[in-house]
Each structure stands twice: as C-alpha cells, then as structure tokens.
C-alpha cells in the first residue's frame, strides 16, 4: 500500500484554516469583552435613569471625579455608541474570516475528492 502524500495546496489551505480559527478565537474573546463592557454601561445608565438626583462620580484612571448626572449620562451614551460600532466591526470581521475558512474548506474537500 503506497504512502499517500498531501498535496502542497492542501497543506497550505490547512495552515490558513488554522490561522483563521485562531483569529476567530481572538475576535470572539474581544467580542465577549466588549459585550461585558456594554452590559456595565447599560447598568450604569439604568441606575442614572432611576436615580436622576443622586450624586454621581466617574472613575478616571485611579480617581473618582464628581459629575453632573446629565454629563455622566452623555459620556456613558457616547461610550455605548462606540462599543456598538466596535461590535459591528468585529461581527463583520468574524463573518469575513468565517467565509474565507469555509471557502478553503470547500477547496480542501475538492482536492481530497480529486486526489482519491
């Protein structure tokens, strides 16, 4: 029984798929961290809405700074908008990389089928 050699193109595709999987893993971690941050912002906005007259502070570096609730609400809303954009961008990257990996997987299948 002769030893089967893996075509060079198939080896390259396998390596690229592995790279894509690593990139997807990193993007999923980033996405999860942003979603956690977004939940924290939502909770803070909810508290500000429920207690509009309370004294509020914003953490800047290692210090707390007293802020007007309206000012802090605007700041948090801006941060939420930014996290929304980042999530949208990450989702697009995930889709793009997933499509590339699927395309390479199809090529591998055709190489395997053609070589058999």
pLDDT in tens, 26-69: 999 999 999 999 999 999 999 999 988 888 998 889 999 999 99
pLDDT for the residue numbered 2: 54
Distance from C-alpha of 70 to C-alpha of 27, rounded to nearest angstrom: 34
Among 98, 93, 58, 94, residue whose Cα is nearest residue 78:
58
Q: Give the residue from 38, 26, 19, 23 showing the smallest Cα distance to 87.
A: 38
**Prediction pTM value:** 0.80
The rounded distance, in Å, linking the Cα atoms of 13 and 112 is 12
Question: Can you list the domains of the chain with their CATH numbers?
Answer: 8-115 (1.10.287.370)
Q: How far apart are CA 57 and CA 67, in angstroms?
A: 6
Q: What is the rounded average pLDDT of the residues 75-94?
A: 97
């Amino acid at each position: 029984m002769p030893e089967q050699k893996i075509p060079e193109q198939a080896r390259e595709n396998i390596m690229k798929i592995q790279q894509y999987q690593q990139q997807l893993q990193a993007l999923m971690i980033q996405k999860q961290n942003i979603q956690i941050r977004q939940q924290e912002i939502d909770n803070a906005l909810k508290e500000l809405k429920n207690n509009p007259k309370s004294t509020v502070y914003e953490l800047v570096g290692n210090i707390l700074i007293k802020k007007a609730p309206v000012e802090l609400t605007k700041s948090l809303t801006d941060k939420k908008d930014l996290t929304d954009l980042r999530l949208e961008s990450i989702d697009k990257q995930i889709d793009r990389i997933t499509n590339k990996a699927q395309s390479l997987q199809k090529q591998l299948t055709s190489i395997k089928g053609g070589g058999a």
